[in-house]
Amino acid sequence: MKSVGKIKDGRLLFPAPINEARRQFIARLKDDTTVEETLIVPRSSKTQKQLGAIWGLALANVVQELDYRGYDTSFIFNTPNPTGIGISSDMLCEYMYQVCPTYNEDGKRITLSKMDTAQAAKFFDDCRNFWSSWSIYVPEPDPQWKEKTNGQD
């Protein structure tokens, strides 16, 4: 049973119908029945702007690291001679869409702007795993960032 309530004056309160449903649920249980209750604060899924920001920061981190190592486009295109052309965020983004493709229900490749949050999370994890093969660590986005910054953007 899932119950959604609100905190009021430091107490968890449920609407009357939910309290009644909880009471009836508990009344049907035998004595000594183990019941588990989990309390969470529901969070909305990330918006497209948030997904774009997370992705943009990850790309910038990887591009900066590749630049620091002196890699140019010959690295990602696996050509024997240096090109002298730096790897841009846009180029790396397109490259990652090819290396870690995501498909919609029609079997067509999609980009981040068309992904839902589950697809975007999987895509991001796939990219992070791929970048780790280059010995580049991209940290997981921090879901607690707002609490750590006291709600300041």
User: For 66-77, how does the pLDDT look when each residue is reduced to its tens digit (9 = 90+)?
Assistant: 999 999 999 999
The structure's pTM equals 0.62
Assess if residue 149 is contained within a domain: no
Return the residue matching tokens 């920061």.
57
35 and 60 inside one domain: no
Domain enclosing residue 34, as ranges: 1-42
Write down the pLDDT at residue 46.
67
**What does each C-alpha distance from 56 to 15, 24, 26, 113 come to in angstroms?**
42, 50, 49, 12
Q: What is the pLDDT of residues 6-60, one digit of tens each?
A: 899 999 888 888 888 888 999 999 999 998 888 877 766 667 777 778 888 899 9
Given a contact cutoff of 8 angstroms between Cβ atoms, the answer to whether 6 and 13 are in contact is yes
Answer yes or no: do 74 and 15 share one domain.
no
